[in-house]
């Protein structure tokens, strides 16, 4: 039996996360290397348009919600795919100061690493949002889009795999269906 499937061993530390009233847990996204910060995908009951990533931090032995991060304000369309791709994947940098979150359905216009806000477009090219933890709280630092434009890069798979390197100075993003299903790995 796999260790993930087994109940905690006797004496193991198990902790619950206090979700706000009316919130539904959707997916565990990422944890930092210390386990003191974690990101989960959450939403309001039965409202796909309210999907968000909540960041929790362990303070005095228990987790407290530190921030609720959402997709870009340019995502205002009423199409069904808007806002339900946010939080598809996530990754903290090694030092826990950056959090990359994939939105496979992002409609923002542009290529490469961009300063927010973006202009709304009509095609879901996907994006990876890079949030930074500052003394004033979490802030959206960059929005990363595929490095090239065109139909072969509008696949809905941008950000299917993400990883930080060099203490958050580089970001690797996978897009397996791009380039006629040959796949692309972007390095930013």
pLDDT at 1: 39
CA–CA separation, 63 and 7 (whole Å): 21
> Which has the minimum average pLDDT: 47-56, 103-112, 123-132?
47-56
* pLDDT, tens only, 24-71: 777 888 999 998 999 999 877 655 557 889 999 998 888 999 999 999
CA–CA separation, 143 and 155 (whole Å): 17
**Which CA distances in Å does 15 have to 18, 25, 62, 183?**
10, 15, 8, 39
């Amino acid at each position: 039996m796999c260790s993930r499937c087994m109940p905690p061993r006797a004496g193991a530390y198990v902790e619950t996360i206090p979700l706000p009233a009316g919130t539904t847990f959707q997916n565990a996204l990422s944890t930092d290397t210390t386990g003191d910060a974690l990101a989960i995908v959450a939403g309001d009951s039965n409202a796909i348009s309210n999907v968000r990533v909540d960041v929790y931090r362990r303070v005095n032995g228990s987790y407290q919600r530190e921030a609720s991060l959402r997709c870009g304000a340019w995502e205002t369309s009423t199409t069904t795919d808007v806002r339900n791709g946010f939080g598809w994947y996530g990754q903290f940098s090694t030092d826990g100061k950056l959090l990359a979150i994939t939105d496979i359905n992002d409609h923002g216009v542009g290529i490469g690493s961009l300063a927010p806000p973006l202009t709304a477009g009509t095609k879901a090219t996907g994006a990876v949002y890079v949030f930074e933890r500052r003394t004033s709280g979490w802030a959206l630092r960059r929005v990363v889009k595929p490095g090239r434009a065109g139909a072969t890069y509008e696949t809905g798979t941008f950000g299917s795999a993400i990883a930080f390197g060099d203490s958050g100075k580089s970001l690797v993003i996978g897009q397996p269906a791009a380039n006629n299903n040959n796949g692309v790995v972007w390095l930013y």
